[in-house]
Amino acid sequence: MMDAFSDPDVEEVVIMACTQIGKTECLNNVVGFFIEHDPSPIMVVQPTIAVGQYWSKKRLSPMLRDTPVLNGLVSENMKAKDSSNTILEKDFPGGDINIAGANSPSSLSSRPRRVVLFDETNKYPSSAASEGDPISLGRERTSNFWNKKIGETSTPGIKDICRIEHAFEQTDKRYYHVSCPQCDTRITLKWGGPKADFGLKWEKDMPETVHYVCQECGGVIDESDKARMLTLGKWIATAPFRGKAGFHINKLYSPWVSWPTIVADFLEKKKLPETLKVFINSTLAETWEEQGEKLEEGPLLARREHFGPMVPEGVLLITAGIDVQDDRLEITVIGFGLDMTKG
């Protein structure tokens, strides 16, 4: 993932991932890279100004303080007279870093930025006050740079309205492939689910018995195989590259969370839709599909009818009132002219 940010052919990097896998740390490292190796005006966008302040104090400042090459470049002197260094604004030779909130249009409408990094976009409001989409506002800051770099990371949310899902679908969609120790075929680690014949499998209510069944050969992969598999794995794109690199990864790959822990968490969270949604989003890094009746598009379009005559002359506004019945829609269409006369 980090290599993509320094690749001149990549303009945008999208990371759709589970929680606690290193998404924010990746952005921290990107900030450090540009400060030291390629000084540029940078903007980091967090869901709110408050989250931005927390990130600055708890993640950015410790990194600047404890990394020798950065400590000499970015002063952490927070004296009131030092206007070049505040919680939300820090200068360094050749550039500066501005921390914005997706809920604050004024912070998003700052000076031009070559590098814009959006963190946890699924938590962004649909609009920054009345100014519109915060990601679009942030992107506008990069329009003057031929070598712009945009990063977007988040855990997913609800299917079809999830920001990170939409962004990921426009990339080359890279997945981390590991070699099965049984057949040596490169595979991606997938949950599988109770009805699938691959993925994590365990004896009933016994997470400690979990193992992974390879989707290619059906061979058994143990937790003890995971470390070596991760070390020798590689990212493989599954769609054409058009300047946007996308990365997807779930918690089955995590070196810090074991498969028995994941299964135990699933057994607890599957009891309620609200908690199962958290598991699907935060552990599997997949979107949650709301349950309900679905309408097939084809049969509905086939029932279209010719509406009738052309709109009468003098009609300036048309309204339609719809009453939903079990087997039909009752629609009343009214045209209004000057002085609200009906036609």
Between CA 32 and CA 108 the distance in angstroms is: 21
Instruction: Please list the pLDDT of the chain residue by residue as tens digits (343 residues).
Output: 889 999 999 999 999 999 999 998 999 999 999 999 999 999 999 999 999 999 999 999 999 999 999 988 886 655 545 556 889 999 999 999 999 999 999 899 878 999 999 999 999 999 988 889 999 999 999 999 999 999 999 999 999 999 999 999 999 999 999 999 999 999 999 999 878 999 999 999 999 999 999 999 999 999 999 999 999 999 999 999 999 999 999 999 999 999 999 999 999 999 999 999 999 999 999 999 987 666 677 777 777 777 666 788 888 888 889 998 888 888 888 888 887 776 5
Residues forming CATH 3.40.50.300 domain(s) in the chain: 2-173
* DSSP secondary structure letter of residue 290: P
The b/e string for 49-78 (b: 16+ C-beta within 10 A; e otherwise) is: bebbeebbeebbbebbeebeebeebbeeee
Distance CA 267, CA 263 (A): 6
Distances (CA, A) of 160 to 165, 168, 286: 8, 12, 12
| Spatial separation of the C-alpha atoms in residues 200 and 336, rounded to whole Å | 62
Reported pTM: 0.83
* CATH fold for the domain made of 2-173: Rossmann fold (3.40.50)
> Which one-letter DSSP state was computed for residue 134?
H
